[in-house]
């Protein structure tokens, strides 16, 4: 795994559920790529997961990745919960289906393609990469709501 890529991700939702957006900023060797999108009816957690998935999917070959998120849900899921969900067949400790299992499974598939280090940052706290990802996520929301053209 040669190239090191930084991926800054964020999700946004206006209403929960409601129209939502996701954003990912990829940085490698000083080159930046912005990704964003949205869904008309979704949740903030689904958008946070989608941002991470889409950022990792964009990488065409295995990379060393620093993935920066402000989502405690994504951080806890990837670092604490997922190993047991997989052992239990994507069920919680209470034997209930894992929420957003479809996206957690996609994220797991993408993480396995790369060497990923996860970093949490406090959202809306002036972190440049996180602020850019937030802007992209909001662009995704605006496009879904028909308020901004691509």
- Catalytic residue numbers? 10-11, 48, 70, 124, 134
- The encoded tokens of residue 36 equal 């964003």
Other beta carbons within 10 angstroms of residue 141's beta carbon come to 27
Whether residue 10 is annotated as binding a ligand: the answer is yes
Q: 111 preceded by cis ω (within 30°)?
A: no
Whether residue 102 is annotated as binding a ligand: the answer is no
- Give me the residue label for tokens 């206006």: 14
**Is residue 35 within 8 Å of residue 55, measured between CB atoms?**
yes
Whether residue 70 is annotated as binding a ligand: the answer is yes
**Is residue 76 within 8 Å of residue 99, measured between CB atoms?**
no
Whether residue 48 is annotated as binding a ligand: the answer is yes
Dist CA 111 CA 109 (whole Å): 6
5 torsion bin: left (phi>0), alpha (psi -120 to 50), beta (else): beta
Known binding-site residues for Mg(2+) equal: 10, 48, 70, 134
Known binding-site residues equal: 10, 48, 70, 134
């Amino acid at each position: 795994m040669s190239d090191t890529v930084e991926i800054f991700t964020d999700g946004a939702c206006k209403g929960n559920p409601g129209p939502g957006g996701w954003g990912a900023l990829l940085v490698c060797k000083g080159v930046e790529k912005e990704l964003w999108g949205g869904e008309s009816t979704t949740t903030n957690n689904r958008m946070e997961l989608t941002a991470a998935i889409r950022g990792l999917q964009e990488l065409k070959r295995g990379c060393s990745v620093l993935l920066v998120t402000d989502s405690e849900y994504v951080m806890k899921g990837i670092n604490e919960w997922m190993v047991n969900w997989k052992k239990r067949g994507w069920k919680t400790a209470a034997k209930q289906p894992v929420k957003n299992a479809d996206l957690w499974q996609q994220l797991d598939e993408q993480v396995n393609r790369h060497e990923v280090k996860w970093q949490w940052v406090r959202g809306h706290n002036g972190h440049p990469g996180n602020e850019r990802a937030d802007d992209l996520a909001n662009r995704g929301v605006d496009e879904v709501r028909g308020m901004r053209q691509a």
